[in-house]
Structure 1
């Protein structure tokens, strides 16, 4: 359902914008390949970015959305033209039926030939695009290969390109999300750790009160600090330890650290563009408030496997509350990379093979076209009946009835990212899974150490935080959002208890 805020008058000319640093990346190229070989993926791309263009675009990391959208539009246009020929070609024998039996037989032959020719031509054009415009530039030799250019298409206008370029920026700003999970584009959540730390003065001795709490002297006033101070310190130290302090060639590649705000976008009008919203006074505990997170991303395997961590701090009642959420974006669908095994030139044998396969597809699509024409009156009548019924897609449902009133609200938040639509169901290599966990562990270990350093610089007690650090790192014990506790290591409970591997 399109919302009233769409400004069609601003859609004029096709844009050639391609200034993003990831426009010609390997992930961008593979996603463009997927737009041509996977109709379901290309339709989903168009639906998320064009059909419902009032929705915000999810942040992209390691790829550029615009070339993918351009190729998805071109691929759908090519398939639509083939579909039109296949659907209309059965009308040829119907028309020639009135001119005699011989004319009808010729009409049937023309129908089958037109269906076969449309299917064969569409597949040959797709193969040509895959072996030239989308070829791997590292191995294309005399072919120019993929260079990140955006295909020209009437639906890809300057207004859309400018909007997508601003909203897909993964570096900073505000993210408008839809649904429950705010971290759109990060992939699958691995685990979360959330715990409060009492902000007490560092103890001068090991003596404690009978109930295990620090004495009055140990709980003396400490220097107060805002949550923004620890945000800045952790970001600064993470950038230094993960980027600058590596030995020789041991620096982590594909690292991105930024601070972002996350909020919903439900209302009668589309909110301001994320780039135009001030981040000041965004916090709070309201339905329309935003919450800030430190976003740490590491892209490995050519940016195909992305490990992400989202960190938040809050200081309430002399208590430091920390959140650490780990996400992993799995590699791309392996079918998209299979196109790289195509031969550079389209040989006569490949043309014959496509022609033969098109015969089998011709039979199936010819039958589908006949059934579609037979059922066409019923489908048209259904559309007439439902024409005046409002679409509920994207509208906010309250779950209650308000007689005589209509809730004029729309969810403008991003539902998913283009990269998430294309990921594989499982890892293709064992080492991809290992590396995804490795980088997440590195981020978590550094994060815990940096928080301890910050507290020690403030002269605060770190005993409780160190105990929790040992639990997480040594035993793999995580409390998830649902309240369950999972333990990846050995655990013993009670006095003199011990645990050993069986």
Structure 2
């Protein structure tokens, strides 16, 4: 790998850690939606905190269009709220048990049936056993066994208490309990109904917070956390998300979406010769200049000389340096002060990486097109239809390398699906309707909520207590060995994304922008080869073949020496046929 001190300009800092600076107290749309996800998507807050805060020596992928700092802070806020909610639910459940154990048991039994009926694991097991048609019969049988076991246990306990002459002890309360005179089913039902009321109150407040604090244009106030170690980690995360160096565990394109189209090819840089004789000595071309040509060609898609309706608004092109996560303690990519990988490479360092393709860093040009939509205007400039954001984001990654007198080029186009519908509640729900909207969801979950309080409370408290232990353990693991895996494994944007683009226009625009960038890249490479005296015949044939294949909906393939070997959608093959990304 190219060492830091071997890169151009050894007196400066070729790799660095950028500083985090808030540009505004207004949150971007994606940031607002991810803050909403912390409140409305079950498990989102816990996953974000455990992964980003619990692992102090783990990198984060770049965040395009959103800010991680407020999202993580809202996740901590949600975790605290859930602890208080489950404390109240557990206290009410204990009251119900004291008032009427049998009534509480019957209600809990019904809740258990509902929980079993909704269990995805049970459905998957029964489907594998070809018993899914009898799912509810099996659930009733299992629940019957549980009821019989519980009744038998209760009888054993009461018999044992009587056999030890506890009723002879002059304790009226014990006599009353065993005689059944203090059984108060109405009080138990009221306590269980109180659990549902608590769930509704917290859920209503969730929607109130979402619709007021995360509404469009609402100012955002940043609240500091009490734990200084967590604050230090947050500052590092907020800075790292703005970098252009991606230290990954197993996916260098984490948080960019699924691969929609891709290809790779290699060709010999033979000079153009009118006589038809191909000299053996290849043409020397500058990969850095080719990389800049590609960047200029792609940025022309948003040029001022294009009509406003024809510009690709929001398009950005920036370096995207990929590094493996497993690093030695003395690796020049590791910052000695923070113990974390550097996240920013300056322009001269990026050029050095492009010129030295055999190093341990690989440079891509990342093209990002947030499909925001544009207003439709008539010839008089009047708005016919306002701009409509489709919610998807298109990324294209272009890599070029010159080695052994040959050119290697790689292209990947990805489409990031929109965020889940519940993340956009802040833009759709009126704050005054938060209570009624929350009621439906609470009633659907009521059979489970009334009995799950103690389990959820223990789980929430254990997560809070385990966080500090995980933070210390991550530091110890990094110090125990000379090498450590610093690679990012989680994208917060992916956690809240829909499985795939949902509407026809989302799918159409995703494919459209990938193909537009693909075409621009191909033409720019051909133009550069011609200008430098390289015979572009092989590449022209390859472009024609891949265009033909793409028109037949075969979207991913390999080009080697002008011949294609196309695989299925979502796979990219190297020139030797091995998979590079799936």
TM-score, normalization: structure 1?
A: 0.73
Matches within 5 A, 1:26-425: 26-92=29-95, 98=173, 105=184, 108=188, 111-112=191-192, 114-137=194-217, 145=218, 147-154=219-226, 157-169=230-242, 173-179=244-250, 181-204=251-274, 208=276, 215=277, 218-219=278-279, 221=281, 223-267=283-327, 269=329, 270-275=339-344, 279=350, 282=353, 283=356, 285=358, 289-301=360-372, 302=389, 304-346=391-433, 351=435, 358=442, 361-369=445-453, 409-425=483-499
Higher mean C-alpha deviation, range 192-201 or range 148-157: 148-157
Separation of aligned partners in 2, 1:335 and 1:354: 12
Q: Is the contact made by 1:27 and 1:62 (CA closer than 8 Å) also made in structure 2?
A: yes
Higher mean C-alpha deviation, range 411-420 or range 272-281: 272-281
Q: Is the contact made by 1:56 and 1:414 (CA closer than 8 Å) also made in structure 2?
A: yes
> Post-superposition shift, 1:243?
3.3
Deviations 1:416-446 (A, max 9, x none): 3111111112323200110001111110101
> Post-superposition shift, 1:310?
0.9
SS of the residue corresponding to residue 189 of structure 1 reads: strand
Q: Is the contact made by 1:23 and 1:63 (CA closer than 8 Å) also made in structure 2?
A: no
Higher mean C-alpha deviation, range 458-467 or range 247-256: 247-256
Deviations 1:239-258 (A, max 9, x none): 23443442343211121101
Change (3 A) 1:474 1:62: same
Change (3 A) 1:279 1:103: farther
Separation of aligned partners in 2, 1:238 and 1:460: 22
Alignment of 1:469 onto 2:543: yes
RMSD: 3.8
Q: Relative CO higher for 1 or 2, CA cutoff 8 Å, sep ≥ 6? A: 2
> Post-superposition shift, 1:63?
1.4
Alignment of 1:453 onto 2:527: yes
SS of the residue corresponding to residue 423 of structure 1 reads: coil
Separation of aligned partners in 1, 2:54 and 2:404: 47
> Post-superposition shift, 1:149?
4.1
Change (3 A) 1:23 1:39: farther
> Post-superposition shift, 1:479?
1.8
Separation of aligned partners in 1, 2:424 and 2:73: 19
Q: Is the contact made by 2:392 and 2:416 (CA closer than 8 Å) also made in structure 1?
A: yes
Change (3 A) 1:160 1:276: farther
> Post-superposition shift, 1:110?
7.2
Q: Is the contact made by 2:366 and 2:396 (CA closer than 8 Å) also made in structure 1?
A: yes
Deviations 1:114-169 (A, max 9, x none): 524432321121121022112233xxxxxxx3x35445443585423321222111
Separation of aligned partners in 1, 2:567 and 2:444: 52
1:429 equivalent among 503, 513, 521: 503
The residue number in structure 1 matching 2:156 is: none
Deviations 1:372-406 (A, max 9, x none): 89x99xxx9xx9xxx9xx9999989xxxxxxxxx9
Separation of aligned partners in 2, 1:364 and 1:487: 43
> Is there any run of 5+ residues in structure 1 with no aligned partner, and where?
1-16, 138-144, 209-214, 397-405, 489-502
SS of the residue corresponding to residue 327 of structure 1 reads: strand
Q: Is the contact made by 2:55 and 2:474 (CA closer than 8 Å) also made in structure 1?
A: no
Higher-helix-fraction structure: 2
Q: Is the contact made by 1:195 and 1:323 (CA closer than 8 Å) also made in structure 2?
A: yes
Separation of aligned partners in 2, 1:368 and 1:242: 54
> Post-superposition shift, 1:54?
2.2
Q: Is the contact made by 1:57 and 1:167 (CA closer than 8 Å) also made in structure 2?
A: yes
> Post-superposition shift, 1:411?
1.9
Deviations 1:430-473 (A, max 9, x none): 00110001111110101111111111111221111111111112
Change (3 A) 1:122 1:294: same
Higher mean C-alpha deviation, range 40-49 or range 292-301: 40-49
Separation of aligned partners in 1, 2:498 and 2:262: 23
> Post-superposition shift, 1:47?
2.3
Higher mean C-alpha deviation, range 33-42 or range 245-254: 245-254
Separation of aligned partners in 2, 1:239 and 1:323: 19
Separation of aligned partners in 2, 1:239 and 1:352: 49
Separation of aligned partners in 1, 2:441 and 2:540: 64
Change (3 A) 1:246 1:372: closer
Separation of aligned partners in 2, 1:486 and 1:66: 40
Separation of aligned partners in 2, 1:200 and 1:268: 40
Asked which structure has the greater CA Rg, the reply is 2
Change (3 A) 1:236 1:303: farther
